[in-house]
Chains A and B, each alone.
Chain A
Amino acid sequence: MKRLTCLACTLSVSVMVAAMVGWSIPAGNLFVPVIAIPLGMIVILACRRNVQEVICDERLNKVQSKAALRTLEVVVIAGAIAAVILYSFMISDSLNPKVTGRIYPGENGTNSMTINLYKPGSPETPENLVRTTTIRDINAMNESEAVNYCQYRREAFLENEQKGVEGMTIGVGLIAILVTFGAFYLYYDRKY
């Protein structure tokens, strides 16, 4: 097997394993990662063993270690800056009022809704309640009811999107690390 064939095989197996793990966790099927990850590792190792060409030598090791060290330096500095910025966002988030809402089915087939506004950074208890708005019919609300409803929906969306944002952050972080490493690798590969 050639080096490029092995690389293509490794990439396809990694993508397949990642896709299977990504699918199985939300589906609640924990057997898939337990089987897929070791199986993928075995396939990749078997591919590497069958390569007749030299995969890695001392020059490549030097290039990779230099690129990895520079990537680490850049990622640590950029990560520290990003962490401070994101943490300041988290602190300032508690200054926003907490909005909750609840829908009640009405007698005549309509749905009413109660929206509660609590003091910033406080638990949702009656003493921290700032304002309550009741929308008699959520299908026929007036202007102030609509404003309250929009604010509630915005809060709800933020909460729902939090997990997605976390996943995106990890994904973008990994891509940034890979791109940085790739750039340094190409630089040192040309240098040596």
Chain B
Amino acid sequence: MKNRIRVLRAEHEMTQEQLAELVGVTRNTIISMEKDKYSPSLKLGYRIARTFGVGIDDVFTYEEDKDGPSNDE
């Protein structure tokens, strides 16, 4: 799962700490998502999209070719 959180954050001149506070997670979670190490839940995805005032598709892109059964392990 790729995302544009870093870009959207830069556009909105928002720090990781501020975004984390707005969506109710820790800063480490935002860092992990920006590094594509962690895929958020649908709920958190919607919260992030709503914070930036865009649709969820504008934040997250599903990469079918990179998805596999052992991806989550």
- Residues on A lying within 8 angstroms of B by beta carbon are 53-54, 57-60, 62, 189, 191-192
Give chain B's interface residue range (CB within 8 Å of chain A): 10 to 19
Complex contacts, A191 vs chain B, CB 8 Å: 37
Complex contacts, B26 vs chain A, CB 8 Å: 53-54, 57, 59-60
Given A54-B25, A54-B26, answer yes or no on A59-B20 (Cβ-Cβ < 8 Å): no
On whether the beta carbons of B40 and A58 are closer than 8 Å, the reply is: yes
Complex contacts, B20 vs chain A, CB 8 Å: 54
Compute how far the CA of A54 lies from the CA of B16 in the bound complex, rounded to whole angstroms.
Answer: 14
B51 interface contact, C-beta 8 A: no
Compute how far the CA of A53 lies from the CA of B24 in the bound complex, rounded to whole angstroms.
Answer: 9
Compute how far the CA of A58 lies from the CA of B24 in the bound complex, rounded to whole angstroms.
Answer: 10
On whether the beta carbons of B37 and A192 are closer than 8 Å, the reply is: yes
Chain A min CB distance to B62 (Å)? 18
On whether the beta carbons of B24 and A57 are closer than 8 Å, the reply is: yes
Compute how far the CA of A154 lies from the CA of B11 in the bound complex, rounded to whole angstroms.
Answer: 77
Interface of A is mostly: helix
Compute how far the CA of A60 lies from the CA of B31 in the bound complex, rounded to whole angstroms.
Answer: 13
Compute how far the CA of A62 lies from the CA of B38 in the bound complex, rounded to whole angstroms.
Answer: 10
Compute how far the CA of A69 lies from the CA of B10 in the bound complex, rounded to whole angstroms.
Answer: 38
Among residues of B, the one whose C-beta sits closest to the C-beta of A58 is: B41
* Binary contact track B1-43/A, C-beta < 8 Å → 1, others 0: 0000000000000000000110011101100100001101100
Given A59-B29, A59-B32, A192-B32, answer yes or no on A54-B24 (Cβ-Cβ < 8 Å): yes
Compute how far the CA of A25 lies from the CA of B22 in the bound complex, rounded to whole angstroms.
Answer: 48
- Give the interface centre of B24, B26, B41 by most chain A CB atoms within 10 Å: B26
B54 interface contact, C-beta 8 A: no
Q: Beyond A54-B25, A59-B25, A189-B28: 15 further Cβ-contacts under 8 Å?
A: A54-B26, A57-B24, A57-B26, A57-B29, A58-B44, A59-B26, A59-B28, A59-B29, A59-B40, A60-B28, A60-B29, A62-B38, A191-B37, A192-B32, A192-B38
Complex contacts, B29 vs chain A, CB 8 Å: 57-60
